[in-house]
Amino acid sequence: MPEEIIYVYYDTVGNNVLSKGIVGQVKDIPLKNIPKNILLIKNDYTNGTYDDYTGFQTIRGQANVISFLKDGLAQPHKVGSWIDFSNIEMLHQLTPVEISEILYIGHAHNYLHSPFYYKLQNNYIYLTMQNGFTKIYYRYLDEFLDHFADAISKRMEKFVNTRKRIFQKEQTVSAFQISDKQEMIRLFREGVCFSFKQMTITDAVYTVPIFIVEDKLATMKTPFSDTEAVGSLTYNKETDVWGLDYDLS
């Protein structure tokens, strides 16, 4: 059964996204800028190359990075936590203080000065959290918006096909499009949950209620009151049309 919720909280100060229910839903690597190299800052992965200067394991070369990330699509918890870097020469220019800051990020899931380092030229910091949450720092937030839209499409497609008869063909679902990215970011800043476990189906219309969760993550363990919904995501199976409506006032 598909994951029953999608939670997203966007921190505008740190430019990071805390989410649940997205990673592992999309078959393709959800990164536009595939890293050339990555530094494993908290990971049980044993096939990396140990770097004497930093004391971290590294994955060197884009082909090896792609293989590592694809393995992580099937088993997200094995991805651990990592930060990308451009080249080994610049990596070895990190000061002991900067290395300790990166160690702190892996431990505390937060940064001290900035999540983006000039010497690393990193586009991401990927942090695997407890209970299926991930926290990712994006240099370019549009990447997450595209990933979110793709995950929504794939999630709905899975639910639609759980209702098909045995001999029916798999039904494809049109791509969910974000028409106003700034409005979507405004919604994510609230900390929202798209509750597929409370989805209703009327005729051919699938309706997923949207709830404000903020940082009260424990509230997602129990069903929300329908009266607390601030909006809904809809998909019409007959017309193959999406709808999104919410009110944050």
pLDDT in tens, 226-247: 888 999 999 999 999 999 999 8
Mean pLDDT of the chain: 87
pLDDT higher at 76 or 244 = 244
Residues 147 and 130 occupy one common structural domain:
no
- The average pLDDT across 149-176 equals 84
pLDDT in tens, 37-59: 999 998 777 778 999 999 999 99
Q: What is the pLDDT of residue 1?
A: 40
Written as six digits, the tokens of 122 are 């990193």
Is the pLDDT assigned to residue 179 strictly greater than 70?
yes
Task: Using pLDDT thresholds of 50, 70 and 90, give the confidence band for residue 69.
Answer: confident
Residues 193 and 242 occupy one common structural domain:
yes
Which of 139, 159, 181 delimits the end of a domain? 139
Residues 150 and 230 occupy one common structural domain:
yes
Is the pLDDT assigned to residue 90 strictly greater than 60?
yes
* The model's pTM: 0.88
Written as six digits, the tokens of 3 are 């994951």
Q: What is the pLDDT of residue 218?
A: 66
pLDDT higher at 209 or 42 = 209
Provide the angle, in degrees to the nearest 10, between the axes of the packed helices 142-162 and 181-188.
80
Enclosing domain of residue 186: 143-246
Please give the tally of structural domains in the chain: 2
Q: Are 112 and 104 contacting, i.e. CB atoms less than 8 angstroms apart?
A: yes
Determine what percent of the chain is predicted with pLDDT higher than 90. 56
Pairing of strands 124-128, 81-85: antiparallel
For residue 8, the cross-strand partners are 19, 192
Residues 181 and 196 occupy one common structural domain:
yes
> Could you tell me the sign of the dihedral formed by the alpha carbons of 182, 246, 17, 64, in that order?
negative
Which of 112, 139, 166 delimits the end of a domain? 139
Nearest one of 31, 35, 18 to 85, comparing CA atoms:
35
Q: What is the pLDDT of residue 241?
A: 96
Which of 139, 169, 204 delimits the end of a domain? 139
Alpha carbon distance 207, 229 (integer Å): 12
Q: What is the pLDDT of residue 131?
A: 82
Residue 46 included in any domain: yes
Written as six digits, the tokens of 178 are 């974000």
pLDDT in tens, 11-26: 988 889 999 988 654 4
